[in-house]
């Protein structure tokens, strides 16, 4: 019998083999694919509706739209081009795309409004996404869901699947200085809070003027301009997706009164809050 040592058998007739390392997965850094941010998908509205009329000159808004049509007959116009919303595609419209609509004949439409993380950058545009069997199945599940929770999950899966088919570079992650990112995330958590330049600078650990210079370098805007933009974006969501009074919305998003809210809203959106609400509510009857 051969004598064993701590290093294994000494007998020449017994060869010790190194154990094989077996792996069943490969870790790939997400950054190599160009987008590593948490998308933070948030559904604002999921509706199935009967379109009787749909003639609106400009539906630009600071959130994404996903349209699914039961048949041909609806069109959208953007950048001098006409897009026929055919039923074999899902139609993604990026935030702040100034598009108009026209309806040639009545049909049923499913539409989803949603937002993504502020750090996810995109350009205005309209994207046709051919519906795969998997997308059709998730749409069926969403429309037949017994509970809002089940429906919400199904719609989220469908939205993510359509986003996943967009051409490379359509979505990208904005890389910002950690101090700027900290301020933006702070604003995002509560846009309506009483933020001041001094309080934001303190959060970043900087002097106010230094923060302004850094913000302009990183985002093209000042900290307070970024705050106003986020407040107006939130106001647009509330105007479209809630029945709250405009005065209440003005206070919620951080304005001292309706006058200052309307003045800022008109300057940034080229329309009053009341007119924006009416325009966005030029929507079909819910099914």
Q: What is the pLDDT of residues 82-112, one digit of tens each?
A: 999 999 999 999 999 999 999 999 999 999 9
Instruction: Out of 21-30, 50-59, 229-238, pick the least confident.
Output: 21-30
Q: Is the pLDDT of residue 205 over 50?
A: yes
Domains 42-170 and 176-286 share a fold: no
- Structure confidence at residue 26 (pLDDT): 42
Query: How many Å apart are CA 42 and CA 132, to the nearest integer?
Result: 23
Nearest to 36 by CA among 44, 28, 45: 28
Summarised one tens digit per residue, pLDDT across range 50-77 is: 999 999 999 999 999 999 999 999 999 9
Summarised one tens digit per residue, pLDDT across range 242-285 is: 999 999 999 999 999 999 999 999 999 999 999 999 887 655 54
- Structure confidence at residue 64 (pLDDT): 96
Question: For the chain, what is the mean pLDDT?
Answer: 86
- Structure confidence at residue 286 (pLDDT): 42
| pLDDT cut 90: percent of the chain above it | 74
- Structure confidence at residue 145 (pLDDT): 92
Q: Is the pLDDT of residue 189 over 50?
A: yes
Q: Average of pLDDT values for 136-165?
A: 94
- Give the residues across from 68 on adjacent strands: 110
Q: What are phi and psi for residue 260, nearest 5 degrees?
A: -65, -35
- Structure confidence at residue 173 (pLDDT): 84
Instruction: Out of 27-31, 111-115, 127-131, 197-201, pick the least confident.
Output: 27-31
- Structure confidence at residue 37 (pLDDT): 56
- Which residues have a Cβ under 8 Å from the Cβ of 79 and sit 6 or more positions away? none
| Residue of higher predicted confidence among 203 and 280 | 203
| Residue of higher predicted confidence among 17 and 231 | 231
> Mapping DSSP to helix (H, G, I), strand (E, B) and coil, where does residue 172 land?
strand
Tokens of 85: 């919303």
Q: Average of pLDDT values for 104-131?
A: 93
- Structure confidence at residue 283 (pLDDT): 52
Q: Where do the structural domains in the chain lie, given as residue ranges?
A: 42-170, 176-286
Element spanning 57, H or E: none
Q: Average of pLDDT values for 174-196?
A: 93
What secondary structure does DSSP assign to 95-128, as a single string?
A: TT---EEEESS-EEEEEEEEE--TTEEE-S-EEE
- Please give the DSSP secondary-structure letter assigned to residue 206: S
Q: Is the pLDDT of residue 15 over 50?
A: no
Instruction: Out of 8-22, 29-43, 153-167, 224-238, pick the least confident.
Output: 8-22
| Residue of higher predicted confidence among 12 and 129 | 129
Q: Homologous superfamily of 42-170 in CATH?
A: Regulatory protein AraC (2.60.120.280)
Q: Is the pLDDT of residue 287 over 90?
A: no
Instruction: Provide the residue count of the chain.
Output: 287
Structure confidence at residue 129 as a pLDDT band (50, 70, 90):
very high
Q: Homologous superfamily of 176-286 in CATH?
A: Homeodomain-like (1.10.10.60)
Residue 260 falls in which region: left (phi positive, over 0), alpha (psi -120 to 50) or beta: alpha
- Structure confidence at residue 72 (pLDDT): 95
């Amino acid at each position: 019998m051969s004598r064993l040592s701590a290093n294994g058998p000494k007998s020449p007739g017994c060869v010790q083999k190194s154990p094989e390392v077996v792996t069943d997965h490969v870790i790939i850094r997400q950054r190599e694919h160009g987008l590593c941010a948490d998308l933070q998908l948030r559904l604002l509205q999921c509706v199935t509706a009967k379109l009787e009329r749909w003639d609106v000159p400009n539906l630009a808004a600071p959130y994404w739209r996903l349209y699914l049509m039961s048949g041909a007959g609806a069109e959208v116009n953007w950048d001098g081009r006409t897009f026929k919303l055919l039923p074999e595609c899902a139609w993604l419209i990026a935030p702040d795309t100034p598009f108009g609509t026209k309806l040639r004949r009545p049909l049923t439409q499913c539409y989803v409004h949603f937002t993504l993380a502020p750090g996810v950058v995109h350009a205005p545009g309209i994207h046709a996404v051919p519906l795969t069997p998997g997308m059709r199945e998730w749409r069926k599940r969403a429309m037949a869901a017994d509970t809002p929770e089940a429906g919400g999950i199904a719609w989220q899966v469908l939205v993510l699947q359509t986003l996943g088919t967009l051409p490379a570079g359509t979505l990208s992650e904005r890389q910002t200085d950690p101090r700027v990112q900290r301020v933006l995330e702070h604003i995002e958590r509560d846009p309506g809070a009483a933020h001041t330049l001094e309080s934001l600078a303190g959060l970043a650990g900087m002097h106010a003027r230094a923060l302004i210079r850094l913000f302009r370098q990183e985002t093209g805007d000042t900290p307070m301009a970024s705050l106003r933009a986020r407040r107006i974006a939130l106001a647009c969501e509330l105007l479209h997706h809630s029945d709250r009074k405009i005065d209440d919305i003005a206070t919620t998003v951080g304005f001292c009164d309706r006058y200052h809210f309307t003045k800022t809203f008109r300057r940034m959106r080229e329309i009053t809050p009341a007119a924006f609400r009416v325009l966005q509510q030029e929507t079909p009857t819910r099914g």
